[in-house]
């Protein structure tokens, strides 16, 4: 953790102004066994982000709270739709267990293996407007060292196989 990942790209102006979503990431916390369970009904997303402006590393024994921040097309923070339905999904549930809190927030917990997973969110405004989406790429990295293993080297002779010559 602590690496900075910089993404650069171009943003094309849409023909009509729209709402954008940015996923707000909380402080990573230690996980429990219950956090690592894939919940029934968890959705798997198959899309990967284009033009993502933020990515994060998450240690294999941590979880992180996710919240939404709505912005207009030029990046100004704004209120989200009051009648919105928020649906989270993850590209690889074998790496990240996703818990939807039912209030527009979620918790992403590392399951254990290292790798890459994308958290995707769809927000249906509920008023017939366009569905707004957001993505958060997460790279699962090794946690801090908590155990040590002694690794033996090659076995070598201590005494020669042949007896020394007698005087």
For residue 69, pLDDT over 80 is answered with yes
31 within domain boundaries:
yes
For residue 54, pLDDT over 50 is answered with yes
Measured in residues, the chain has a length of 167
164 within domain boundaries:
no
Task: Classify residue 39 by its DSSP letter.
Answer: P
For residue 5, pLDDT over 50 is answered with no
Q: What is the 3-state secondary structure (H, E, C) of 93-148?
A: CCCEEEEECCCCCEEEEECCCCEEEEEEEEEECCCCCCCEEEEEEEEEECCCCCCC
- Structural domain of residue 117, as residue ranges? 19-141
The predicted model gives 96-115 an average pLDDT of 92
122 within domain boundaries:
yes
Task: Classify residue 44 by its DSSP letter.
Answer: B
Gyration radius of the chain over CA positions: 24
157 within domain boundaries:
no
Closest to 97 (Cα-Cα) out of 62, 69, 122:
62
pLDDT at residue number 39: 54
161 within domain boundaries:
no
Chain position carrying tokens 């939404």: 68
Q: Mean pLDDT score of the chain, rounded to an integer?
A: 76
Q: What is the CATH number of the domain that holds 126?
A: 2.60.40.1080
Query: What total of structural domains would you count in the chain?
Result: 1
Range with top average pLDDT, 28-37, 116-125, 153-162: 116-125
41 within domain boundaries:
yes
Q: Which two tokens stand for residue 119?
A: 């958290």
| Range name among 3-12, 43-52, 117-126 with the lowest pLDDT average | 3-12
The predicted model gives 110-120 an average pLDDT of 92
pLDDT at residue number 146: 85
155 within domain boundaries:
no
Angle, alpha carbons 105-3-139 (nearest 5°): 50
149 within domain boundaries:
no
């Amino acid at each position: 953790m602590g690496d900075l990942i910089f993404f650069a790209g171009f943003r094309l102006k849409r023909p009509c102004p729209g709402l954008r979503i940015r996923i707000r990431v909380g402080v990573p916390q230690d996980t429990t066994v219950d956090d690592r369970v894939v919940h029934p009904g968890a959705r798997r997303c198959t899309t990967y982000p284009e033009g993502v402006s933020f990515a994060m590393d998450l240690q294999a024994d941590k979880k992180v709270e996710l919240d939404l921040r709505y912005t207009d097309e030029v990046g100004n923070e704004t209120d989200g739709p009051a009648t919105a339905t928020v649906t989270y999904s993850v590209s690889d549930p074998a790496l990240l267990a996703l818990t939807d809190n039912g209030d527009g927030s979620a918790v992403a917990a590392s399951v254990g293996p290292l790798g890459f997973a994308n958290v995707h969110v769809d927000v249906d405004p509920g008023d017939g407007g366009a569905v707004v989406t957001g993505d958060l790429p997460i790279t699962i990295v090794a946690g801090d060292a908590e155990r040590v293993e002694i690794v033996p080297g090659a076995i070598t002779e201590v005494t020669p196989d042949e007896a020394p010559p007698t005087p």
